[in-house]
Chains A and B, each alone.
Chain A
Amino acid sequence: MTLKTRRSTAINEKEVFPVLPDSMHQNKLWRNLIVALILTFAAGYLFSVWSTSNKVNPAAASFAGNGGSCLTCHNQTTPGVVKQYGESKHAANKVACIDCHRGDPGSKLTVNHHDNNIVLRPTPQNCSRCHPAQTTQFDHSRHSAPAWYAQTGPSSFTTEQLTRYGLSATGTYNDLYHMEDPAITKMGCEVCHNIGKPNADGSFGDCAKCHAGHTFSLEQVRKPEICGSCHLGPDHPMKEIYEESIHGTIYADKGAHWDWNAPVGTLSSKNFDAPTCAICHMASFGAAQGTHDVGQRLSWALTPAQAEKRVDWETKRLNMQTVCLECHSQASIKTLYDNADQVVLKGNENVKTAQTIIKNLKDDGLIPAPPFSSSIDFKGFEIWHHEGRRMRFGAFMNGPDYVQWQGIYEQLIDLTELKEQNADLRNKGVKATIPST
C-alpha cells in the first residue's frame, strides 16, 4: 500500500474535526491512559486473586496438551479419570493421554481406538519412554517378575525369562494358588501379585499398582496407604507394624503437615519427621539415592521359609542405614540390626523344626504327602508364612507386638501343638489316607 499526503484537504479537516486546545488534548490522553491503567491493574489483580485462590501450581490442574478429542468423550464416559488426570503432574507437564496410551503398530496390546493405535493399560514399556531409569530399577526388583513367580512358579515363564530374572526353573508353583479356584485367586492373590504380571509386549509388571489411578501423585506414593493396600494382613502385616511403630505414630501425628509433594531429591529429615514405606525403601532421602528397586536396601530375604541374606547384603544394609542415619546414631542402628538378625535366626530355627517334623511325618506315611492335605500342613504353613514372617518384619520395623504376641508367641503355640500331634500320630502309628475334599 502506498501512502501519499494531500495538503488540499487540510481545510476540510477543520470543518469536521474540531480543533481543541492543547490542554484539552492532554486531558483526554491522560484521562484515557489513567482509566485504562486503573482498570487493567484492577482486572489483573482480580485474575491474580482468582488463580491464587484456585491454587494452581506447576504440578497440578491441567488437561494441557492432550487435545480435545479424548476429553470430548471421556469427560462424559469416564469423568473421574479425566478429573484425576487433570489434576496430575503429567497434565501440568503436558503429557498427553496418547503419550502413555500410544500403542506400537502390530503389538499384541495395541487396539484401534478411533483410528488411534492405543494400549488400554500401559505397561512398564510404555512408562519407560519417559522414565527409563525407574522402569529398569523396577524390572530388577522383586516387585517385577518375581512377584508373579511367587504364585505361579516357573510355569508361566520362558527359560529366557527365568534366566533374565534369576528365577529357579526347578521351583514349584505356589500350592495354595493352584489349590484355590482361579475364580478366587484372580480376586485374591493376583490382585497384588500382578504388580509383576507378564505383559504381551514382553515386559513384566504394572506401574499403576502403586501409581494408581490417573493422578500420578507423589503424595500418594509417598504415603504408606498405597503400600498397605498389599502389604497387610496375617502373612505380611507391614502396614499394621508401621502403624504400631514410632515411625507410624509420628506419621499419624504430624504427617498432615509434611511436604508430600516436595520435588524428588529434596526429601530429608528437615521436611519429614519420620519415614514412610517409600522413604525407607525407595525415596531419595538425605544422602540416600532413590531407587525403584525395592530390594536395594534390604539385607535379608525375609519371605522364604528360611530367611537368608541377600546377595551383596552388606551394601544393601548400608543403603538402608544411610536413610536411618538421617535421624539415628550409628550405634543405635547397629543395635537394632544385631537384635533383628537374632530374631530372624531364632525364627528360622523354629520354622526348620516344624518343617522337619512335617517332612518326616509325610515320609513315614503318617500324614498325606500332597501339600495342604491335612491340618498339620496348614499349621506348618502358618508357622513360617504367617507367624514366622510377622516376627521378622516386626523386628526390622520396630513393631514389638508383631515380634512378641503376633509372632514368636503364636509360633510357639503352633510349634508345641505340632510336636504334640507328631507324638500322638507316632504313638498311634496309623498310616495316613488322603481326605476327600
Chain B
Amino acid sequence: MKSSITERFTYQWLTQQPLHIPITKTRLILFYLSLNYLIVFVDVLIAHALNRLFPVYEWIPVIFSPIAALSAILLFIRPKPGCISILNLFINFTGVVIGILGFGFHLQGASAGNVVSFAGLTSGNPVFAPLAFVALGSIGILTTLDDRSNSRKYNLTRKTRWLLLTTAFWFFATALVAYFDHARTGFTNLYTWIPLYMGIFAAMILLLQAYSQPERGLSILLGTTMILSFAVGLLGFAFHLSADLAGRGSILWSRVFYQAPGLAPLLFCDLGIWGILVFLDPLNESPLD
C-alpha cells in the first residue's frame, strides 16, 4: 500500500490553508469501511431476521459483514503490504460477489415466476440494496491501489478517481432503492421524489469530479452536495419513523424495519460522509511512512 502521509487535501476551501490530517487517507477509509460493514451487518441482520433468516443463504451477508469489518480494521491497525492486505483484497472481492449474488436473489424474490415487472421492483425486497456490498467491496479493493504521482489524472490520484466513481455508483444504486421504495406509494407526496433527485445529482457531481481538476469551486460544490445528502438522509429518517409509527395507536418496533425501512434514509448520511472522505485527495505525495 503506497498511500502516504498526506499534508494537503482538496478541502483547503474549508480553511483556505493546507490541512494536515495525522492519518493516511487509506487508513481513514479503512476505518470507515469497517464501520460501514458493521452498520450493514446490523441492517441486514434485522431485515433477514424478520424472515427468520430463511432461506439459509440469507445468513451469507450476516456472516460475511463482521468478517469484512474485522479484515478492514486489521488493515487499519497494520497498514502494510502482506498477508492482511492480501486477505483484505480477497474478502472485499468476495463482498463484490456477494453483492451481485444478493442482487440476483432479491431480484428473483421480487419477481412473479420468471417475470420481473415494475410492480415486482417496488417489492419489499429492496432489489438494489445488496449493491451496497458491491460498493463496499469495491472500496475495500481500491484501498490497495497506489497513490503514486504518476498515476494522477486531472490532478487526482487513480485511487481517488476510482473511489469517486464507486461512490457515484453507490449513490445511483441508493437512488434506485429509494425510487422503487417510494414508487409503491405512487409518489403521492411530492417530497418522496427528493431522494431520487438527490442520489442522481450527487452521483453526477462525483462522476464529473472524477474527470475534473480539483479546485476551490468544485470542492465547495462537492462538499455542499454531500452535506445536502446528509441532511436529506436525516429528514428521510424522520419521515420514515413518522410513516411507521403514526396513527396506529401502538408502536411495533418491527414495523420500523418492516415497512418504510427506518435505516434506509440514513444511507444518504453515510454516502455524504463517503463522498467527503473519498475526495480527500493528497495533493502532495510523500514517501511511505
Contact = CB atoms under 8 A, between A and B. Distances in A.
B205 A36 contact: yes
B217 A26 contact: yes
B94 interface: no
A111 interface: no
Contacts of B106: 68
A40 B201 contact: yes
Contacts of B54: 69, 72, 114-115
B118 A5 contact: no
A149 to B, nearest CB: 37
Contact of A32 (B18, B196, B212, B259): B212
A130 to B, nearest CB: 11
Contacts of B284: 9, 12-13, 16
A62 interface: yes
Interface stretch (B69-77, B138-146, B158-166, B182-190): B182-190
Contacts of A72: 54-55, 105, 108-109
Contacts of B8: 9, 12-13
Contacts of A32: 205, 208-209, 212, 218, 221
A220 B179 CA distance: 30
Interface string A76-93: 100100110011000110
B258 A96 contact: yes
Chain A, interface size category, equals 35 or more
Nearest to B207: A36
Contacts of A258: none
Interface residues of B, number: 65
Contacts of A18: 155, 213
Contacts of A39: 200, 204
B287 interface: no
Nearest to B57: A72
Given A67-B124, A76-B113, 9 more contacts: A16-B283, A20-B215, A25-B217, A32-B205, A32-B218, A40-B200, A60-B119, A72-B109, A92-B184
B96 to A, nearest CB: 21
Given A28-B217, A67-B258, A79 B109 contact: no
B235 interface: no
A378 interface: no
A213 interface: no
Nearest to A54: B118
A178 B235 CA distance: 66
A75 B112 contact: yes
A64 B123 contact: yes
Contacts of A28: 212-213, 215, 217-218
B58 interface: yes
A4 B18 CA distance: 9
Nearest to B185: A58
Given A5-B17, A61-B184, A36 B112 contact: no
11 contacts: A5-B20, A7-B17, A17-B155, A17-B214, A29-B217, A32-B208, A44-B196, A65-B258, A72-B55, A75-B108, A86-B123
A51 B215 contact: no
B15 interface: yes
Contacts of A86: 112, 119-120, 123
Interface string A1-17: 11111110110110011
B27 to A, nearest CB: 11
A64 B124 contact: yes
B113 A79 contact: yes
A6 B18 contact: yes
A35 B220 CA distance: 16
A57 interface: yes
Contacts of A425: none
B7 interface: yes
A1 B119 CA distance: 46
A181 B125 CA distance: 48
Most chain A C-beta atoms within 10 Å of own C-beta, residue among B21, B109, B196, B200:
B109
A336 interface: no
Given A20-B215, A115-B52, A75 B208 contact: no
B51 A58 contact: no
Contact of B112 (A5, A58, A82, A114): A82
Nearest to A10: B18
A86 to B, nearest CB: 5
A116 B52 contact: yes
A309 to B, nearest CB: 42
Contacts of B183: 51, 54, 56, 61
B197 A40 contact: yes
Interface string B20-45: 11110000100000000000000000
Most chain B C-beta atoms within 10 Å of own C-beta, residue among A48, A61, A73:
A61
A86 B124 CA distance: 10
Contacts of A61: 118-119, 122, 183-184
A33 B221 contact: yes
Contact of A62 (B7, B23, B124, B212): B124
B73 to A, nearest CB: 16
A3 B20 contact: yes
Nearest to A24: B215
The 3 A-B pairs of least Cβ separation, nearest first, read A69-B51, A29-B217, A62-B184
A210 B110 CA distance: 28
